[in-house]
Amino acid sequence: MSNFFSKNATAKIISILFALVIWLYVMGEINPIITIEITNVPITILSENLILERGLVIKNIENETTNIRLRGRLDYVTDITRDEVVLTADLRDLNLGRNNVQINDNLMDDIEVSLFPETLLVELEEIIRVQKEIDLEITGDPKENFVLGQSQYSPTVVWIEGPESFVNRVDKIIARLEVENMSANITASLPLKAYDIRGTEVSGIDIRTEYIEASLLIDSKRTVRIIPNIEAKAAEGYEITDITASPSEITIIGQPEAISNVFAIRTLLVQREELSNDTELIVTLLVPDNGFTVSRKNTKVKIEVEKIAEKIISIDRENIIFSNLRDDLEIDKSNIPEKIEIKIVAIESFVDTLTTDDFNVIVNLEELGAGEYTIEPIIKTSFAIEQKAKELSLISEGFFIILIPATGESEDSGGE
């Protein structure tokens, strides 16, 4: 080796330099330095489990990809694909709040790497755990003549866990039960979801209990009568004309087997005496303890009271009806009073409506021949008036009539 450098040293050095120049030329022209860019390269997060152990969690990552610029020899750079580039960000030493994390790459040292941006902005926050009440939200309407009854569910509270900002957004934990067109009792396992105050579902939190067990009674309803239980007495000269409940019907609600044989609801007993005016009472309904409810607890009862009045109806003599008069007789009416008076006693509002057209005075002459008679006429009126009248009578006890042969008959007799 020493002989090699001692002989013709100058020529040999020149040869080596020339070879180096040729190599640099060839490398510069054939395998030049180039720059390429790869955009939106994803960044892999490392050590996330370590920050979770410290009670921290990622609240936000501002940029989860970055652009990369590679500078190096052509034969190195052109062979690199997006899938071969691995970018990582290690979170192990981060603290609560906003952190700029160095992005690392897996590329060889012969390649110059530039990142845009060079760091990853990661915001950490505490993991918190709070307890929330569960709301059972019932949607839809049951079948006609059915209503929602009592509901039960378990559990009624649940723990939720997650990033503080996410957990603090939660306003309600809701389980939804659909009852559209249902007519039978329901039992179901229902999933839980978290919602904010605007009704938007909150994701990114852990609801520690995923389901609740719920039951809901679907009750039947029907309308029944209200029966007033009133013991009332009117004052002297007055009469109780009606006792009514307002409203007169009520809706009862319960399981079908509990209300199928219920047809009326009575009120509690109320007693009143010496009534001379209409009276209104608020009366409690008597609801038996047999598994159903009523739409109201009280009802209004009206006791109507009217004054008893007397009225005299005068019937003209010409309007008296004589029935069953023999064809050969006629009536001498000279001794009959010009008016026959009828006395009727009933409630004031009723007697005020009565006129002479409502009555007839009838004299029955059946089997009576010519002669003089004291007659007791009878009053003929409608059944409704007879029912409502407390007293219906003639003021005069009777009157005197004379039956005489008909004029035509006496002339014929005289001719004979």
What end-to-end distance do the CA atoms of the chain give, in Å? 204
Decide if pLDDT at 414 tops 70.
Answer: no
* Segment 44-62, tens digit of pLDDT: 999 999 988 898 988 888 8
Segment 69-78 mean pLDDT: 85
Decide if 338 contacts 316 (C-beta within 8 A).
yes
> CA 275, CA 277: separation in Å to the nearest integer?
6
Decide if pLDDT at 2 tops 60.
Answer: no
Q: What is the structure's pLDDT at 31?
A: 76
Decide if 285 contacts 299 (C-beta within 8 A).
yes
Segment 313-331 mean pLDDT: 92
Q: What is the structure's pLDDT at 241?
A: 93
Structure tokens at 1: 């080796």
Neighbours of 338 (CB within 10 A): 9
* Segment 121-162, tens digit of pLDDT: 999 999 999 999 999 999 999 999 999 999 999 999 999 999
> CA 387, CA 346: separation in Å to the nearest integer?
10
Decide if pLDDT at 385 tops 80.
Answer: yes
Decide if pLDDT at 25 tops 80.
Answer: no
CA distances to 160, 162, 215 from 189, in Å: 19, 24, 9
Decide if pLDDT at 408 tops 80.
Answer: no
Q: What is the structure's pLDDT at 242?
A: 94
Least confident of 4-8, 100-104, 304-308: 4-8
Segment 275-295 mean pLDDT: 88
Segment 223-241 mean pLDDT: 94
Comparing 186 with 10, the larger pLDDT belongs to 186
Coil, strand or helix at 150: strand
Decide if pLDDT at 256 tops 80.
Answer: yes
Q: What is the structure's pLDDT at 412?
A: 40
> CA 319, CA 338: separation in Å to the nearest integer?
10
pTM score above 0.85 = no
Decide if pLDDT at 4 tops 60.
Answer: no
Comparing 320 with 19, the larger pLDDT belongs to 320
Least confident of 270-284, 359-373, 400-414: 400-414
> CA 367, CA 327: separation in Å to the nearest integer?
12
Decide if pLDDT at 353 tops 50.
Answer: yes
CA distances to 27, 97, 176 from 166, in Å: 58, 15, 22
Least confident of 68-82, 163-177, 339-353, 361-375: 68-82
pLDDT tier at 410, thresholds 50, 70, 90: very low
Decide if pLDDT at 398 tops 90.
Answer: no
Maximum distance among all Cα pairs of the chain, rounded to whole angstroms: 209
Q: What is the structure's pLDDT at 409?
A: 46
Decide if pLDDT at 1 tops 60.
Answer: no
H-type alpha helices, 217-318:
256-259
Q: What is the structure's pLDDT at 107?
A: 85
Decide if pLDDT at 11 tops 80.
Answer: no
pLDDT over 90 for what percent of the chain?
64
Q: What is the structure's pLDDT at 12?
A: 65
Segment 191-213 mean pLDDT: 95
What's the distance, CA 214 to chain centroid? Answer: 19
Element (H, E) at 12: helix 9-30
Cα-only R_g, the chain: 56
Coil, strand or helix at 207: strand
Strands, E, within 269-297: which ranges? Answer: 270-275, 279-286, 292-294
Structure tokens at 371: 């002669």
Q: What is the structure's pLDDT at 289?
A: 76
Q: What is the structure's pLDDT at 16?
A: 76
Segment 181-202 mean pLDDT: 95
Decide if pLDDT at 196 tops 60.
Answer: yes
CB neighbour class for 91 (10 Å; exposed up to 12, middle 13-18, buried from 19): buried
Average model confidence (pLDDT) across the chain: 88
